[in-house]
Amino acid sequence: MRGPLDGFRVAEVAMWVAGPSAAAILGRWGADVIKLESPKGGDPIRALTTSARGNEALVIPPGYELDNLNKRSVAVDLRHPQGRDFAWRLIDLADVFVTNLRLDALEEMGLDYASLRQRNPRLVYASLNAYGHTGPDRLRPGFDYAAGWSRSGLMATVAEPGEPPPAQRPGMIDHAAGLGMAGAISAALLARERTGRGCEVDLSLFSMGLWMNATDLTIGLLCGTPPQPESRHARPNPLWNSYQCQDGRWIFFVMLQDQRHWPNFCAALERPQWVDDSRFCDSQARRRNSRELISAIAEIVATRTRDQWAQIFDRHELFWAPVQTNAEVLADPQAQAIGTFAAVDHPRIPECRVVNDPVRFSSMPDTPHRPAPELGQHSEEVALELGFSWEEIARLKENGVLG
């Protein structure tokens, strides 16, 4: 068994990150994913390239490689009637259709759910867009930075009070949405096996950002006032905060049950007198005097390196973590142990590895990923599977419909 979705066919008309990442996960889980791309350049993320370290002649598109593993690529012009016919023939035989195109564009091409459901009632139709599938902004374009990070409240919530909004790194909410969509598709396929009927599954970057911000938003719903950004210099719980070590590296304490950890924390910092100090002896006192305590903790943490503190914190069973750089993460033995960095059997990139999706199945063998396909690499192969003759394929190529 290659994966839990072995035997299912997925047709993808998607670009950039969120939609393609959902389909890539389905491919990793065993599905046959066929990506339909424009013959004129394909998925735009192909153009976001960089040079490999130590080999500037090797130009690679990291984003494309990551989110298009385990797929086949067909270059077909969906603006052309014959191109749309090609897509329909594929979708007629598919179990799943994944897209993140705008809803009006899908309707123009006859790739909306209402149209495809008439052709294939068993189809699971998975549509991901920026702001949702109903409401005044259903057609509004947007990447995850705008819809999922900025508008959802996340950007403002994590900012230091009075400071500019913090930047987000590429694809953070896109990838959360892709994984969420892959899970939703799997549930829809399970329901279809029971009922014989497909359904539409929709998800937006905005809704994923709201879900990631759900704890604070729910506090606002239940209490009337949502939490405001907190300064790290005045956190209500000083044992849930970041501190800088002597070597300039940072650690983060994550002790939500601060009273439980307080005696061990005082022992680790060699301040046993704090246990009964009226300023800090319980959660309420620490909240009232948080600035003073945070300043005192910061002074102590700054006296040792992070590696020195690591042994002390672990010996006293504190809940904490290093604030790691990406370079440190790439060398993290625990990340290696859980299979985070997966091999790719790539013809051009030596010793190619990418970040794996976070889900593991005991029944699925740990085999290398298949590399992201070249544009149109499988056009003829898929056309033959759909019943096109070589003569028809040649005509489609001559007309610029198939690449």
Indicate if the pLDDT at residue 96 is higher than 70: yes
In whole angstroms, what is the distance from residue 60 CA to residue 270 CA? 51
First-last CA distance in the chain: 33
The pair of three-digit structure tokens given for residue 271, joined into one six-digit string: 């301040």
For residue range 42-79, list pLDDT tens digits in order.
Answer: 999 999 999 887 787 788 999 999 999 999 999 999 99
How high is the pLDDT of residue 346?
93
How high is the pLDDT of residue 184?
98
Domain residue limits, the chain: 9-214+332-398, 240-323
In whole angstroms, what is the distance from residue 341 CA to residue 53 CA? 18
Q: Which of 376, 386, 358 is nearest to 29 (CA)?
A: 358
Indicate if the pLDDT at residue 1 is higher than 70: no
Compute the average pLDDT of residues 238-246: 98
How high is the pLDDT of residue 255?
97
In whole angstroms, what is the distance from residue 352 CA to residue 144 CA? 27
In whole angstroms, what is the distance from residue 32 CA to residue 323 CA? 39
How high is the pLDDT of residue 51?
87
Indicate if the pLDDT at residue 216 is higher than 80: yes
For residue range 332-347, list pLDDT tens digits in order.
Answer: 999 999 999 999 999 9
In whole angstroms, what is the distance from residue 367 CA to residue 387 CA? 31
For residue range 102-129, list pLDDT tens digits in order.
Answer: 999 999 999 999 999 999 999 999 999 9
How high is the pLDDT of residue 365?
84
- Alpha-carbon distance values, 180 to 203, 212, 301 (Å): 8, 12, 39
Q: Name the DSSP class of 370.
A: P
How is domain 240-323 classified at the CATH fold level? formyl-coa transferase, domain 3 (3.30.1540)
Percent of the chain clearing pLDDT 70 (strictly above): 100
Residue 68 DSSP SS3: coil
Better pLDDT: 59 or 86: 86
In whole angstroms, what is the distance from residue 217 CA to residue 16 CA? 29
Domain 9-214+332-398: give its CATH code: 3.40.50.10540
Compute the average pLDDT of residues 218-246: 94
Three-point CA angle 147, 153, 156, nearest 5°: 115
Contact 306, 237 (CB under 8 A): no
